[in-house]
Each structure stands twice: as C-alpha cells, then as structure tokens.
Amino acid sequence: MAPPKRRKTTVRRKPAPPRRRAAPRSKESGTTLPVDVQPGAVDEALRKVTDTLRQWANAGRYTKVRFKFRGKPLLPDLPLAAVVAAEGLTFYWTGILRALLVNVAGRSVLDVELVNDSEGHLQKGKEELLSGEVDRAIAEFRTALAKQHDNPRAHLNLGIALKLKGDRAGARSSLEKARKLDPDGPVAREADRLLQGLEGSAEMGSPGPA
C-alpha cells in the first residue's frame, strides 16, 4: 500500500516593514563642547563657557551657539557675537541656564554646540549659479565666507562665479585662496585646473609683439 501523500504547507511571510528615510542632513556645520557642571559650581562652569565661546569667536569660525541639556535645546540659537559681547554673567541666557542647573540634583553635563551656517549659503549660491543668477550666487558665496572665512569650497565657487562674471583678477585671487586652504584635496586640483584655464585664456587674449 502506497504511503499517503504529504500536504504542502505554504508559509506566508510577513511583508518587510517600510524602511525609514534617513533624516535630511543639516546644512550647518559645527562642534559640540560638553561642559561638566559640578554641584555648587554652576557660576564657575558658566564662566568657563563664556571664556571658551570668546576664544571661538576670535577664531571667526562659528556664528551661532546652541545650548542643550539631555539632548534638548534650552534656548533658541543665539548669535555667537551677541553671547560673547556680554560682560561677566549678566547676559540673560546665563540666568536661564543657572536656574536650570541649580535645580538639577547632582552632577550634570551641559552641551554647548557651536554652529556655522555658512554651508547653507554655499548651497544656495550653487543653486543660483546653476540658474544663471551669477550676481546672486556671488552674494551668497561672500556671505558664506563672511561666516567661515577659511572654507575652501566657498572660495572655489566664488572664483568660478567671478570668472563667469568676467572678473579675472577676483577669480584668480579666490581660486588661489581655495588651493591654499586645501593643498592636497580635490578643491586644490579643481582650483589648479581653473587657474590654468585663466592663464591660457590670458595668453590667447594678449596682444602679439609689435
């Protein structure tokens, strides 16, 4: 007698959950400085914060300050220049932070995030340049450099825009700065290529011997 046939069982797989889209990256660049606040030493910690911010302001790299506690912003982003302009601990943000930290039991960590929003202006300038708005692009690139004067990509793009505008001297200056700030990177290679193009067109346009 033949053995009974086995029934095939179909296993239905659950549909895979939809992948979460990665959160868009901020156009801001910055760094976070954790500040260790000991019980009874809040004023001392805030004084150290002020001194550190003054040093970063002198470096001219960052434009805004963001105070965070346990991952959450405590205040709106504040202009770095306005924060360091206050003498001592009389500025209003120190009062808010002091009140918060005094009420926290035990040791706590305050995150002071230094923000540079020059990347947003750099991206906007690229968009304007692609749209043919050269003057607007130049304005955006210069704003980016005002907020981060050592950004090689901002110098590079400003050089490109000035070249399109017909400002050869300005383009050459910006491209040379870009090359100097990123001597071994892709910015320097692109700047070299553009500078060679400027020199070649200058030779072609120069008058011949009399």
- pLDDT, one tens digit per residue, over 10-68 is 445 544 444 433 333 344 456 787 877 776 777 787 778 778 787 777 666 677 888 88
Over residues 72-119, the pLDDT tens digits come to 887 788 787 777 776 544 556 677 777 777 666 566 777 888 877 788
Is 36 strand, coil or helix? strand
Is the Cα dihedral 103, 105, 109, 111 positive or negative? negative
CA 96 to chain centre: 27
Q: Which two tokens stand for residue 120?
A: 């947003």
Over residues 124-151, the pLDDT tens digits come to 999 999 999 999 999 999 998 987 888 8
Measured between alpha carbons, how far is 174 from 191 in angstroms, rounded to an integer? 9
The predicted structure's pLDDT at residue 157: 97
Burial of 190 (0-12, 13-18, 19+ CB in 10 A): buried
Question: Model-level pTM?
Answer: 0.54
- The CA-to-CA distance between both ends of the chain, in Å, stands at 114
CB 151 within 8 A of CB 182: no
The predicted structure's pLDDT at residue 201: 62
Beta-carbon neighbour count of residue 45 at 10 Å?
19
